[in-house]
Each structure stands twice: as structure tokens, then as C-alpha cells.
Structure 1
Amino acid sequence: MSRISVRGFAVASATAVTAVGSVVGVASGSTAQPNDAEATAADTTLLAEIPAGQQAQVQTASLTQQADAQAIAADASAKKDAEEAARKAAAETAIAKKADAEQAAKEAKERAETKAAEAASRSDVRDSSSFPTQSSYSVAQIQAMARQMVAGDQFQCFSNIVDHESSWNYQAVNASSGAYGLFQALPAGKYASAGADWQTNPATQIKWGLNYMNERYHSPCGAWSFWQANHWY
């Protein structure tokens, strides 16, 4: 091997990355500054001095190093993006959990307040036995009795059912079925569970109807919702 060849191989081996990188940069169309052009020319000369059989190896090594560097950079970028996405997801999850907890607490408070209001309202109602017995009752009198026996927030639902069933006639009779009274109970004797005077005392019928709605539908409004969907209760 000549002195020139030895020198070229040694120098080119030491500067392989720079030389090949410059050649690749020129080939790919990058813009070089004046100094870069001089370095590229010099490095290209050095590459030319490497034996032809080893030039491919030097170029391959340089390209592999560049690919490895790009892969490392890509991995770092992907890791950074993944960490940022994880932080964002964790923050969003925390916010959602906090909102759910606040909503649950709000609903629990509302339920407690509703139950307390219902209990307070029911504690103010009168029992059927507290009304004096009369020989007859007008619709207005029966409605006034019901208002005193049914919780205020349930009265309208209660009234809607009685309107549809008997129009507040405590002696109403269904000619075909025998259903009787304010709530068209069938058989009529069901009212007896609320009092023996059910045929003559609308307050006793109101007591029975209210108990029936509370036991079967939890409230008059629950009974009215069912009635609207089925036209019976």
C-alpha cells in the first residue's frame, strides 16, 4: 500500500462520519455555506483516497450512526409525548372524579331535604277521626278534608286521581262493576280497613285511599304517574 493510500485510509477512517455526512448532505440537496463547501470538498477528497472496497463500509457505518441518532431522538420525543398525555389524562380523571363526587353529594343532600320536608309535611296532617261526622258533605268540604290529610306537595296528584275516579263523590257507584266511593274501590268493602263508617264518612275513604297510594306507589304522585301511563292504579 502506498504512503498516500495509508494516509487517506487513516484520515478518512477518523473523519468517516463527517465526510460521509457531508457527501450525503450535498446529495440530498442541503444548502452549504462557503466554509461548509470547502469542508465537503476536502472530506470528499479524503473519502476518495479510501480503497474502493472499504468506501461502502465507511458509508454504511455513517448512515447507521445517523439512523441510530434519529431513532434515539424519536424515542425521546415519543416518551415525552406519552408522559404529557399521561399527565393530562390523570388530571382529567381527577377533575371528573371530583365532579362526580360533588354531584353525588348534592343529590344525597337533596334527597335528605326532600325526605325531611315530606316528614314535616305529613306530621301536620289530620287523621280521619278528627273530623266531626255530618249527615252529608259537599265536594268543597271533602276537598278541604283531603287538604288537611294529604301532604301539601302530594295533594295535587291525589286530587287528580279522585277527579278521574269519582269527581269527589264519596257515594259514587259504578253500575257495571260495583266499584264504590272516592277511589272506586273494588270490592267496596276494602274501605272497612280504614274505618267502619266508610259508607258515610268521606274522611275514612280519604284515609284508605291515601294509605293505598303510599303502600303501593310510595306516594300519591307515584300513583298518579302510574295512572297517567295506564289509566288505572
Structure 2
Amino acid sequence: MSRISVRGFAVASATAVTTVGAVVGVASGSSAAADDNNFEATAADTTLLADIPAGQQAQVQTASLTQQADAQASAADAAAKKSVEEAARIQAAKDAQTKKQAAEAKLEQERQEKQDKKDAAERASRSEVRSASTFATKSSYTVAEVQAMARQMVPADQFQCFSNIVNHESTWNYQASNPSSGAYGLVQALPGSKMASAGADWQTNPATQIKWGLSYMDGRYGSPCGAWSFWQANHWY
């Protein structure tokens, strides 16, 4: 019969426990009828157990290895589950960020498309108003007549801004001249001869001056209101 020394070995098999209890009882001179509680207390304090038959050794070793394998498998499963959950959390966060960016990009695109359509409509409106405006030539014009021309040539939503600039620059005097700078007309073109691009009668025809001034404001500032915003900040445009 084989012999084995066991120190602090966990016995999982009920049969092995019984056998070890019997052997310990013989080795210590105690009765084999000692109860299980006494056996467990004795086994816990024993540093060297008596002989265990070879067949029972295998049962004890198998039970211990099975417990270890189960514990390792359980730990591996928990780690794998945690890894999967973390990967899912990270992916969900990435997906949410991607959706958010796509939604923001779509909103910005829609906003830009609306703005482009609005700008195109305003440009078309201004061009139509200017090309449709024709006025009989007169030797002189009152302020009311000049303003009436402007209302027909400047888009309604831009007229107040245009009027604000003209008020500050010339008080609606189409013959206003600045002797020190050479600026001339309703919008005080500098030099006044610039307005020749809108018509040869730029010195005497308010409509020509309005046409040139509106074109200048649209080209440089996008609109009369854009020009007025700049004027308010700088007191020139």
C-alpha cells in the first residue's frame, strides 16, 4: 500500500474525508466512532496525516484539482465578461459621438443651404430692382424725389440701412461735395468720378449715384446693412 504525507490539504470527497478520519483515529489511539466535528477540528490542527490508501489519494487529488479548475474557469469567465462589457461601452460611446457629429454636420449643411438661397434671392431682387428703375432726367431734384428714387431702387429690407448711410454722408444732397477730400454725391464716392462706371451723368443724376452706391455696398459689404454695420463701428465705409 502506498503512503502519502498531507499538510493543509483540502479534502473535497466525502469518502476521502471518512477514510482520513478513520486513519487519524487509529494513528492517535482514539475510537473510530468519534463524530465528524471532532475530526474536522483535529484535521485542521494536524500537520502530518496518516496513511491514505492509493485509491483515496487519487480521489482527494482529483477533487482538489477540480476545485482549482472551476475557480480558474470562473475567474476567466468574469474577466472575459468584463472585457466584453467594456468594449461594448467604448463602442457605444463612439457610435453616439459619430451620430452627434453627423447630425451637427447635417444641420450646418441645411443652414448653409438656406443662407445661400436667401443670399441668391436677395441678389436677384436687387438686380431686378436696379435694372427696372428708370427715371426721367431733370435739371434738379428735391430730397423727397431723391428718396423716392432710392425706395424704388433699393430692396425694402435694405432701404433703412442705405438711408442711414446717406443721411450721415450727404443728408440726401446729390450735389454734396467735400472740398478737402474730393468725395461727391449722395454716398460721397471718393473720388466722385468713380461713379462714372454707373453712368456719365453721375454729377447731376441721383439715380446714377444711387445705382453706384448700392453696387458698391453690395460688392464690398454684401448689402447696405452690411455697410451700415461697418459704418457704425468705424464712421466710414
TM-score (norm 2): 0.67
RMSD between superposed Cα atoms in Å: 3.9
- Give the SS at the match of 1:154: helix
1:131-153 CA deviation, whole Å, 9 max, x = no partner?
A: 10112212221122112222233
Aligned-partner Cα distance in 2 for 1:44–1:8: 18
Q: Retained in 1: the 8 A contact 2:162–2:224? A: yes
Tell me the equivalent position of 2:149.
Answer: 145
After superposition, the Cα gap between the structure-2 partners of 1:159 and 1:83, relative to the gap in structure 1 and judged at 3 Å, is: same
Aligned-partner Cα distance in 1 for 2:145–2:155: 17
Report 1:6-85 matches (<5 A).
9=6, 12=9, 14-15=11-12, 42-51=39-48, 72=76, 75-76=79-80, 78-85=82-89
After superposition, the Cα gap between the structure-2 partners of 1:228 and 1:9, relative to the gap in structure 1 and judged at 3 Å, is: same
Q: Deviation at 1:65?
A: 8.5
Aligned-partner Cα distance in 2 for 1:87–1:171: 72
Q: Deviation at 1:157?
A: 2.1
Tell me the equivalent position of 1:106.
Answer: 110
Aligned-partner Cα distance in 2 for 1:49–1:94: 65
Aligned pair 1:205/2:209, yes or no? Answer: yes
Q: Retained in 1: the 8 A contact 2:133–2:153? A: no
Rg: which structure is higher?
Answer: 2
The farther-off stretch of 40-49 and 169-178 is: 40-49
Structure 2: runs of 5 or more not aligned: 14-34, 50-64
Tell me the equivalent position of 2:30.
Answer: none
Aligned pair 1:178/2:162, yes or no? Answer: no
1:99 maps to a residue whose letter is: A
Aligned-partner Cα distance in 2 for 1:145–1:152: 12
Q: Retained in 2: the 8 A contact 1:214–1:220? A: yes
After superposition, the Cα gap between the structure-2 partners of 1:40 and 1:88, relative to the gap in structure 1 and judged at 3 Å, is: farther
Structure 1: runs of 5 or more not aligned: 17-37, 53-60
1:171-204 CA deviation, whole Å, 9 max, x = no partner?
A: 1122433321111122222222221211211011
Q: Retained in 1: the 8 A contact 2:149–2:207? A: yes
Q: Deviation at 1:14?
A: 4.1
Tell me the equivalent position of 2:119.
Answer: 115
Aligned-partner Cα distance in 2 for 1:44–1:114: 92
Tell me the equivalent position of 1:195.
Answer: 199
1:191 maps to a residue whose letter is: M
After superposition, the Cα gap between the structure-2 partners of 1:84 and 1:41, relative to the gap in structure 1 and judged at 3 Å, is: farther
Aligned-partner Cα distance in 2 for 1:172–1:166: 6
1:185 maps to a residue whose letter is: A
Aligned-partner Cα distance in 1 for 2:148–2:8: 113
Aligned-partner Cα distance in 1 for 2:109–2:38: 76
Tell me the equivalent position of 1:24.
Answer: none
TM-score (norm 1): 0.68
Q: Deviation at 1:69?
A: 7.3
Whichever structure has more helix as a proportion of its residues is 1
**Sequence identity (%):** 52
Q: Retained in 2: the 8 A contact 1:8–1:49? A: no
